[in-house]
A and B are shown apart, each in its own frame.
Chain A
Amino acid sequence: MRRLTWFNATSLTLGFAFLYIPMIIVIIYSFNESKLVTVWGGFSTKWYGELFQNEAFLDAAWVTFKVALASSLIATVLGTMGAYVLVRGGRFYGRTLFSGMIYAPLVMPEVITGLSLLLLFISIGLDRGMFTIVLAHATFSMCYVSVVVSSRLVSFDRSVEEAALDLGCTPFEAFRLVTLPIIAPAVISGWLLALTLSLDDLVIASFVAGPSATTLPIKVFSSIRLGVSPEINALSTILIMIVTIGTIAASLTTKRAVMRRQREERMAEQTG
């Protein structure tokens, strides 16, 4: 193993410090006995207990979860369909325009997306609540899904789909039996991306949420305006833990898949 040079070691430390010190501070203060956020008053887990007593937070968390699940599923289906048509649909009239338009929401300021959705919902008389948040989140996250899925579609050999047709599949069967299993990893990562985007969206949700449904980010943001409560620290710590466990699990799975594949390739070389 090569040793790190002084320069590399320093940049590594600085970089990671920059990224993680804020989070570490949040975690430390979540175990603070004192009610004052900036004064250390000894170790305690009492804010976790209080958090789980706070129904408003729990409700908001539950709403956020439901919204994320529903909107990410809708976004995945629509985004995958969009990507498929744009990559495989051949050169239909206006294709360049459409593929440009599907990426536009990526660079659109969220305030504009939120405002325009709000105006739309008002003009068609849709009551704002969980349903409108789901629609809004599905709208802005489907373009992320379609970007991820279309990059996979572009890179895979089209003749595999033609082979499926050639062997007797209808176009739909070819998609279900061949294309979908091959692009599944991209569809899943698109879905996870949509899920994450929906979980932490504040701006769009605050435009389209109504009194009947509040998501966790909105709840956190509004309670911070009344003063930072140590409960928020506890909540943030739990979220950080969930994300950490999820990320580690995902990377372990990927690593094991890569190792299995390398083993198989070695085996193929030996027998080939």
Chain B
Amino acid sequence: MPETAFEPWNDPNEKPLIQFRNVTKRFGDFTAIDDLSIDIFEKEFFALLGPSGCGKTTMMRMLAGFETPTSGTIMLDGQDISPIPPNKRSVNMMFQSYALFPHLTVYDNIAFGLKRDKLPKDQIDARVKEMLRLVQIEKFGQRKPEQISGGQRQRVALARSLAKAPKLLLLDEPLSALDKKLRQDTQFELMDIQEKTGTTFVVVTHDQEEAMTVASRVAVMDHGKLKQVDTPDRIYEAPNSTYVADFIGDVNIIEGHATAQGNTVSIVWAEGQPPIIGTPTTPIEGKVSFAIRPEKIAISADQPTDRANVVQGKVLDIAYLGNLSTYHVQLPNGVIIKAQTANSRRRARRPFTWEDQVWLSWTDTAGIVLDN
């Protein structure tokens, strides 16, 4: 029997662990969360992604119990959690600053929540040791937080928030204090721990790469509203708005006027340029935005004949990223299009340089046609 993919959001029989129902949160005149509804399922690794001030942290703090919604309800396991104070919720949080207790040892930090539950001593000890093992800091149990490094503190914070085996773990920018290399390693570890413990994770981040790597689903937020909630690949490949397309990764956005031609549309967008042929997901006409990722555009010295869209321009700029190069190509009408290629050859042997005349081409299904 083939293993079914983990997609509880597509299963109508699945009951969500968390439900936001028309939740609004205002601070004075400022609306942080605007009539927002969403379902999050058990064992999900759910990422809330957006620029600062978009309301993602407020959503997390409402789940933890530090804020209460102005209107609407939040359900956890079918129960309205608004009247439950933070200390009575089966929800734990890993804070951005880690918020370790500076006067307690690593061991006592992790044991803190278990002691509040008045568990027997040997049970607490066993659980703390299990947590220390899980995050690989067994050696540092007797150290104080100031006696360990930043990466180790991050692990202590994670172990402490997981120790009580919460139904839901909230992570507020969990990796933002780590350097890039350590962050990437830790991302995979985080996914591993999430899988091992089977806990539902909700992570808040402004780092789109982090959200794409760790999450089963990503919610892109802006001004207290959800712009799109989908799997990382769908968010990237099929954004539903120019905002999402622009927020996640690099993108060329061209505005134009579409007319239907069977399954495809022809988008007239500039004098003297051939219309762009695209394939919309739903029939669409009129003013549209055409979004295409740079890596979906091929760059060549000779005019390609087998592709639906071909334009000519000259290389204006080259951004060399090591593994990739991004070419900024200026078309005769002044528009700049970014095209990206993998550097499979050494840099000295790269085929194009500044001021070269090149051909850009892409297929009719490479881009996304978005309603304006």
Contact = CB atoms under 8 A, between A and B. Distances in A.
Interface residues on A, range: 20 to 34
Interface in A184-218: none
Interface string A155-174: 00101101111111110010
Interface in B108-165: 112-113, 116-117, 140, 143-144, 146-152, 160-161, 164
B49 interface: no
B112 A268 contact: no
B324 interface: no
Which among B100, B116, B151, B161 has the greatest number of chain A C-beta atoms within 10 A? B116
A77 interface: no
B86 A165 contact: yes
A160 B160 CA distance: 13
Interface stretch (B91-99, B295-303, B349-357): B91-99
A160 B101 contact: yes
Contact of B116 (A167, A182, A272): A167
B101 A178 contact: yes
A173 B116 contact: yes
Given A160-B100, A165-B85, 10 more contacts: A160-B101, A163-B160, A164-B112, A166-B91, A167-B112, A182-B103, A268-B143, A268-B149, A271-B148, A272-B148
Contacts of B113: 167-168
B149 A261 contact: no
Which among A173, A265, A268 has the greatest number of chain B C-beta atoms within 10 A? A268
B144 to A, nearest CB: 7
A162 B103 contact: no
A266 to B, nearest CB: 10
A160 B116 contact: no
B112 A159 contact: no
29 contacts: A157-B97, A157-B99, A159-B95, A159-B99, A160-B100, A162-B95, A163-B95, A164-B101, A165-B85, A165-B86, A165-B87, A166-B86, A166-B87, A166-B161, A167-B92, A168-B88, A168-B117, A169-B116, A178-B101, A181-B103, A182-B103, A264-B144, A265-B146, A265-B147, A267-B147, A269-B149, A271-B149, A272-B149, A272-B150
A173 B65 CA distance: 17
A261 B92 CA distance: 31
B178 to A, nearest CB: 12
Contacts of B65: 165-166
A159 B91 CA distance: 16
Nearest to B170: A166
A181 B99 CA distance: 15
Contacts of B140: 271
Nearest to A181: B103
A241 B151 CA distance: 49
A166 B64 contact: yes
Given A157-B97, A159-B97, A167-B160, A268 B147 contact: yes
Contacts of B95: 159, 162-163
A170 B150 CA distance: 29
A267 B146 CA distance: 10
A168 B87 contact: yes
Interface string B34-72: 000000000000000000000000000000111000000
A167 B87 CA distance: 6
Contacts of A181: 103
Contacts of A157: 97, 99
Contacts of A159: 95-97, 99
Report, nearest first, the 10 A-B pairs whose CB atoms are least far apart.
Answer: A272-B149, A167-B113, A168-B116, A163-B99, A159-B99, A181-B103, A268-B147, A165-B86, A159-B95, A264-B147
Contacts of A182: 101-103
Nearest to B150: A272
Contacts of A261: 146
A268 B146 contact: yes
A168 B164 contact: yes
B6 to A, nearest CB: 28
Contacts of A272: 148-152
A166 B92 contact: yes
B151 A162 contact: no
Contacts of A164: 101, 112
Contacts of A160: 99-102
Contacts of A268: 143, 146-149
Given A167-B164, A168-B87, A272-B149, A162 B116 contact: no
A157 B99 CA distance: 7
A170 B85 CA distance: 9
Contacts of B116: 167-169, 173
Contacts of A165: 65-66, 85-87
A164 B148 CA distance: 21
Contacts of B117: 168
A147 B96 CA distance: 29
Contact of B146 (A166, A264, A271): A264
A25 to B, nearest CB: 46
A258 B1 CA distance: 64
Contact of B93 (A163, A177, A265, A269): A163
A177 B102 CA distance: 12
Contacts of A168: 87-88, 113, 116-117, 164
